[in-house]
Amino acid sequence: MRMIDQTALPARLTYVKYTRPEQVADAIRTMVVRGAPAIGVAAAMGLALAAARSKATRPADLMKEIEASATLLRGTRPTAVNLFCGIDRVLNRAASASTVREAKNAVFAEVKAMEEEDVEVNRRLGRMGADLIDNGDTVLTQCNAGALATVGDGTALGVVRAAVEQGKLVKVLVPETRPALQGARLTAFELVRDKIACTLISDTAVGHMMSQGRVDCVIVGADRITKDGYVFNKIGTYQEAVLAKRHGVPFYPAAPRSTFDLDRTHDSVTIEERGAEEVVKIRGRRIAPRGIPVANPAFDKTPPELVTAIITDRGLVWPPFGENIPRLIA
């Protein structure tokens, strides 16, 4: 398995190669690969590595080995539902096989299907959302919901790319997204590389930019959208939504079907808390005194009343979300 090392961007575009599921679990935990759809497919690939390496001669033994890797991969990051969906899809496919060979082939086929679906789903979602963008608009985003976070064009950035393809002039306002700087490092990398107009701002400039009328809409990705319409996404998304409401700016999360969790309401979702190192240091360099207590929630939860509409590969979902999500997404 070969993928971009996202921790090295934008300084170096390098690829890492993995042969064992434990390496993939480590890569997800340390954010070598990150972004909800990307970690879903990466975890599925981790299971494919487990299947490929297995010397089991009975399907039940192979299943045990794959399930052990699934447990390891499930424990890496708790918030993005795509991770768990990706793992379950592979396990279900493998469980329906009656020989070891059949099970291994089923696992490989499922991973391939997930990869291809993600590309297609991003494209469809992009087209659905592009109609919401007018020529000349400035779109505020958060974190990186682009090609690096998916297999295809991205979700939020997939919408921007589709609008650009339609010939619209679009500018993206990119908050740096402390502490891991996915905006400054990854979204900026993608947009500069694709020659899409963009401006980097500090996270603290978001309110000011909105108050000056310099944001036409907000488009962000999502790690999980519960059936009651709460949107879990990178920390900082909630404050963008509150500010958008204050300034009459539409707020659109963009997410594929695999990001919806129709089994849960918002109060039972775990928000990942990451280590203090990310906050007390910037790219390895200490900026805060030793011993300072730190809180580092990696995601936040935006309530449905702050969401204008959700852009999905199945179309736009409008309020009331509690009714329309189960109806349109099931």
Active site residues: 223
Amino acid at the residue 42:
A
**Spatial separation of the C-alpha atoms in residues 22 and 307, rounded to whole Å:** 38
| Residue 152 is a binding residue for ligand MRU (CB under 6 A) | no
Q: Which of residues 178-197 bind ligand MRU (CB under 6 A)?
A: 182
3-state SS, 228-258, equals: CCCEEEECCHHHHHHHHHHHCCCEEEECCHH
Closer residue to ligand MRU (CB): 97 or 124? 124
Contacting ligand MRU within 105-144 (CB under 6 A): 143
Task: Please say which residue, 138 or 155, places its beta carbon nearer to ligand MRU.
Answer: 155
* Among 30, 28, 58, CA closest to 45: 28
Query: Closest by alpha carbon to 207, among 173, 230, 159?
Result: 173
Q: Do residues 201 and 212 make contact, with C-beta atoms less than 8 angstroms apart?
A: no
Does 69 bind ligand MRU (CB under 6 A)? Our answer is no
Stretch that binds ligand MRU, among 19-27, 62-70, 145-153, 168-176 (CB under 6 A): 145-153
Contact region with ligand MRU (CB under 6 A), list: 14-22, 32-40, 57-65, 315-323: 32-40
CB half-sphere exposure, 258, CA atoms < 13 A: 27
Closest approach of ligand MRU to the CB of residue 139, in Å: 14
Nearer to ligand MRU, 199 or 296 (CB): 296
**Backbone φ and ψ of 174, nearest 5°:** -115, 105
Query: Between β-strands 310-312 and 315-317, what pairing exists: parallel, antiparallel or unpaired?
Result: antiparallel
* Binds ligand MRU (CB under 6 A): choice among 222, 249, 269, 311: 222
Peptide bond preceding 179: is omega within 30 degrees of 0, i.e. cis?
Answer: yes
Q: What's the length of the chain?
A: 330
Check residue 3 for interaction with ligand MRU (CB under 6 A).
no
Distance, CA of 93 to chain centre: 24
- What's the CA gap between 224 and 266, in Å, rounded? 9
> Binder to ligand MRU among 32, 36, 85, 91 (CB under 6 A)?
36
Is 83 an interacting residue with respect to ligand MRU (CB under 6 A)? no
149 is an interface residue for ligand MRU by CB under 6 A: yes
CB under 6 A: which stretch of 106-114, 146-154, 301-309, 320-328 binds ligand MRU? 146-154
234 near ligand MRU (CB under 6 A): yes
- Applying CB under 6 A, the residues found at the interface with ligand MRU are 34-37, 80, 143, 145, 149-150, 154-155, 182, 221-223, 233-234, 298
